[in-house]
Chain A
Amino acid sequence: MLFVEFRFLIFFLIVFAVHWSLRGNTARKSWLLACGHFFYACFFVGDPVEFFGHLRAGEWAQMPAGWWFPAVLWGSTIMDYAVGRGLGAARSEPARRAWLLASLAANLGVLCYFKYFNFFITSAAGFLTWFGLHTSLHTLAIILPYGVSFYTFQSMSYSIDVYRRRLAPVRSFLDLAFFISFFPQLVAGPIVRAMTFLPQVFEKRVWASVRVRDCCTLFFIGFVKKACVSEFAAQIADAFFADPTKYTHLSAVLGVLFYAVQIYCDFSGYSDMAIATARLLGYELTPNFDFPYFSRSITEFWRRWHISLSTWLRDYLYISLGGNRCSKLFTYRNLLLTMLLGGLWHGASWTFVIWGGMHGVALIFHREWQRLVENAGAGFKKVMAVLAVPLTFYWVCLTWIFFRAAPLLDEKTHAIKATSLEMAWRIFKAFTLFGPHRTKSFGTECVVILAVLALVHWLNSRRVFTAAWQRLPDWAAAALLGVGTELAILFVPVKYKAFIYFQF
C-alpha cells in the first residue's frame, strides 16, 4: 500500500475518521497501533482471504513470501521494551551496559541477517578467491523485510537514549509499540527519535491544533513530487542506466541529473506525505529534507539531505566513536567510518560503500578546505560563494552514479555482462566526459524540462510560492488544490514504481 495509491486514501480516511472520533488517548493509540500493523502486513500478506485460508489449513508452502515479517517488528518492539524496563531497573553500570548490548545485538543482528548476510558471505568468498583459496560458501534466499533499516534504528534510538538517561523507560508497552509501528514513518522514515516522539504519545492529541490546509498542501506537494516528477524522471534515468554505454555525453549528463531529480523527489515526496499524514493525526515527525541540492558544501548537504538519518548517525554513531573531541586524524577516521557505515545502511553492496566513502572523503576535504581558505581574500570568497552550489551538486551527482549503478544483464540469458562497479565506472567516465561518445540521445525537450524543474525548485526554495499560498483565502486554496489534484492525476503513471527507499 503506497501513499500515492487510491487504496491508501481509503485506508487513511477510515483511520482518520475513527482516530478523531475516539475520545481516550489509549483508545486512539490502540487504534493507530492496529492500523500500523495492518498497514505493514499489507506489504506481505497479499490477498487476505487467501492468506487466512492457507493459514487455517496450515499450507505453509502456499503462504506469500515474508508473511511472517510482521512478527519481526513485534519481536523488535518486545525486545526493546524489555531492554527499557531492564535499563530502568538495573542498579549497576555494567548491568545497564549489558542491557544496551543486548538491544544493539538483537537489532543489529536482525539487520545483519536480513540485509547483510549474503553480502558478507559473497564478499568473504570473493576475498578468499582473490588469495587463491576457492571456497563453496552458500548464500541464503533471504528477502528483506520492508522498513527493517528504519524501525531497527528507531528501536535502537530508544534503547540508547534510555541508556544515556536522556529518556525515562516507558511504562506502557502500548506506547512503545505505537511509537515503533506508527504507519506514516514505518517503512521509509523519517527515522523518528524516541526522544522527540514519545512525549507526543503521552499527551492526547487535539484536533484544534491540526492545520488541515497546510497538511493537505504538504501531502499534495509530496504526491506531485513522487507520482509525477519522480516517475517521469525515472523513465529517463532508467533508460540511461539500463545501458549507459550507448548514449552521448550530453545524454549521460542528463541521465544522471534526472536520477538526481528522481531520488530527491521520490524520497522527499514520501517524507512530505508521511509528515502530512502524521500531522493530520496530530503527530509531528522530524523534517527530512531542506532543499539539499542548493547546499554550498557537502557538510551543509548532509544537514539538508535525509536529515533524520544524518542526525541519527551523528548522534548515535559519530559521537559514540568520539566525534571531533579527539585528534584531527581520529576525527577524520570517525567521519569516514560514519559515512561508510551510512552507505552500507542503504544497501548491501560495495557501490553503496563507495557512495558513503565518497561522501566521507568530501566531508574531510571540506573541513581541510575551510581551514585553508579561512584567511583568504574577499574576492576569492565571492568566487567560491558562486561556485560552491554547482560544485557541491556536481559531486553529489557523481556519487549518485555509484548509488544507482546496477549490473548489466544479458537480454536473453540474464547473465551478468558487467558488474555494478564496472557499470558505475563506465557511467562515471561518461558523466565526466572521458568516456566514448555514442549516438543515442534524449533530446532537447529533456533539457527544457530539467530547466523548468530547476527553476520551480529554486523559486520554492526562496519561499515564493509559500508566501503567495499563505495569502490565499481558504476557498481559493481549496479550488486551486482541486484543479492541481486533477493536473497531478493526469501525469501519474497507472503503475507506480515502489519508493526507492523501501528497498533499504
Chain B
Amino acid sequence: MTGRLLPLAPGRRRGLGTAAVFAAAFAGSCWLAARWLPFPEVINVAQKRAHLAAHGDDYDAIFLGSSRVEFQVIPALFDQRMAELGFPIRSFNAGISGMTPPEDAFLFDQIARGPHRRLRWVFIELDYPRLKTQRALWDGGRMTYWHDAERMQIMGRCFLAEWAQTQARLAGQSQPARPWSERLQIRLDPVADLLEHFTGFLHRQTNLGRGAALASRLVKRKKTNPLVPDKSTADQGWVRLDGGLEDKNRAAYERAYAERLVTPQTARPNDPAAGAALRRLVEKVTAIGALPVFLVPPTTARTQMMPPEDLRQCRLLNFSDVRAFPELFVPGHRLDVEHLNAEGAPPYSRLLAERFFASLHTEKESRP
C-alpha cells in the first residue's frame, strides 16, 4: 500500500464532476430561494413576528416562552401594574404554545433583525430542548421553520445527552429484564427523534413546499397573508385560554400540589444542551443591548430547569413555590399542572410586574 489515491477513470471523473455541478446548482438555488421567499406562514409565529417587525420600537420588554407564557402573561396588566408602581414600560408577549429551546432563540433572532430601539428586557421562560417532537407541530411548518444549522447543533447535543442517558438507564436496569424488542426500541428512539429533526432541517434548507403555500393562496383567492394581523397580536400577544380544571386534570393537579407542599420543586439535573441553548440566547439578547430576565412560571412539576452556574447572576423570577404564591395555585385559577387559565393570568401578570419591579430595586443590573 502506497497510501496514494488511485487516479479515477475519465468516465468516473466526468460523472463525479457532473454530480458536483448538480449539487452546487441545487445548493445555490436553495440559498437564493431562501433569501427571496418571505418568512414562512407558521401560525402564531408569523403573526407575532410580523407585528414586532412593524411595531418593534414600541416595546421595552418582550416575553419569550411556551404556552406558559403565551396564555398566562397579560402584557396590558403587566404594563398597568408597572405604571402604578411608577415605572411605566410597554411589553409584548412573544410566547408561542409548544415553543421550547432552541426555537425561542430562532424567534428572537427574527425579532432582533427588526426594530428594537427601546427593547431593554427579554423575559425568557426557563425550559430545556426536547428531542421528541410533537406530531401536531409538523402541520403548518411549525417543526420546519426554525431548524437551521445553529439550532441543529443544539439538537445534536440534545441527542448525545439523551443517548447517553438512555444507555445508562438500560445498563442500570437488570431486573426485570426487558424483551430485546423493547430494549432496541428504547435505544433507537433518540435516533428516530434526531432523524425527525434532521428531516425538519432538510425541509427548511430546501424550502420544501414554500412555493406551494403561495400558489395555494393564489388559487384560493387570498391575496393578503391570512395570518397577519389577527387576534393573537391584538392583546399585545396574549392569547386567552378559557376553561378550568377538568375532572381528569383535577386529581393529577391536587396530587401534585399536595406533593409540592411537602417537597418543594427541585432543580432539574444539569443538561449541557439546555445550558448551551440558554447561553446562546442570552448572548444574543445582550448583543442587542437588552437584558435577560429568567422566568419560572407557576407549575407544580417535580423538577424545573435552573440557569447554569455562569448565568446565575442574571435576574430570575421564580413563581413555582406553592407556599409563596398561593393565589397562583388556587384550583379555580388552574387549567392543569402546568398552566393557569384566564382567571389565573391576571393575578400572575400583576405579581410578575411587582416581582420584576422589586428586582429592579433590589438587584443591580448585571450583564452575564
Contacts and interface: CB of A to CB of B under 8 A. Distances in A.
A479 B218 CA distance: 29
Given A481-B25, A486-B33, A491-B209, A474 B215 contact: no
A228 B141 CA distance: 18
B221 A443 contact: yes
Contacts of A494: 138-139, 141, 144, 203, 208-209
A446 B219 contact: yes
Contacts of A493: 209, 212
A449 to B, nearest CB: 8
B182 A53 contact: yes
A486 B209 contact: no
Interface in B163-198: 179-182, 184-185, 188
A49 B189 CA distance: 10
Contacts of B219: 232, 235-236, 442-443, 445-446, 449
B207 A52 contact: no
Contact of B22 (A442, A479, A492): A479
B346 to A, nearest CB: 37
A480 interface: yes
Nearest to B212: A491
B212 A490 contact: yes
A388 B134 CA distance: 55
A492 B24 contact: no
Contact of B216 (A213, A235, A483, A489): A235
A493 B209 CA distance: 5
A131 interface: no
B110 interface: no
Nearest to A482: B25
Contacts of B182: 53
Contacts of B211: 487, 490-491
Interface residues of A, dominant DSSP? helix
B221 A489 contact: no
A228 B22 CA distance: 20
B49 to A, nearest CB: 20
B225 interface: no
A475 B21 contact: yes
B215 A486 contact: no
B30 to A, nearest CB: 5
A480 B215 contact: no
A482 B221 contact: no
B19 interface: yes
A446 B24 CA distance: 34
B18 A475 contact: yes
A485 B202 contact: no
Contacts of A487: 29, 211
Contacts of A130: none
A80 interface: no
A478 B221 contact: no
Given A49-B185, A49-B188, A443-B219, A490 B210 contact: yes
B25 A478 contact: yes
A236 B208 CA distance: 21
Interface in B29-44: 29-30, 33
Given A445-B219, A489-B207, A493-B212, A479 B21 contact: yes
Interface residues of A, number: 36
Contact of A486 (B30, B179, B221): B30
A195 interface: no
A478 B27 CA distance: 13
Contacts of A480: 25
B24 to A, nearest CB: 7
A445 B209 contact: no
Given A53-B182, A474-B18, A492-B208, A483 B215 contact: no
B368 interface: no
Interface in A232-261: 232, 235-236
Contacts of A380: none
Contacts of B83: none
B286 interface: no
Nearest to B24: A482
A490 B207 contact: yes
B14 A474 contact: yes
A439 B215 CA distance: 23
Interface in A105-154: none
A345 B322 CA distance: 68
B313 interface: no
Interface string A194-212: 0000000000000000001
A57 interface: yes
Contacts of A213: 18
A489 B18 CA distance: 21
Given A235-B219, A442-B219, A479-B25, 16 more contacts: A56-B180, A212-B15, A228-B212, A445-B221, A479-B22, A481-B22, A481-B25, A482-B26, A482-B27, A486-B26, A486-B30, A489-B206, A489-B207, A490-B208, A490-B209, A493-B209
Nearest 3 pairs of A and B residues by beta carbon? A482-B25, A53-B181, A490-B211
Interface of A: 6, 49-50, 52-53, 56-57, 212-213, 228, 231-232, 235-236, 442-443, 445-446, 449, 474-475, 478-483, 485-487, 489-494
25 contacts: A6-B199, A6-B202, A49-B184, A49-B185, A49-B188, A53-B179, A53-B182, A232-B212, A445-B221, A446-B219, A478-B21, A479-B22, A482-B21, A482-B28, A483-B25, A485-B26, A486-B26, A486-B29, A486-B30, A490-B207, A490-B210, A490-B211, A492-B212, A493-B209, A494-B209
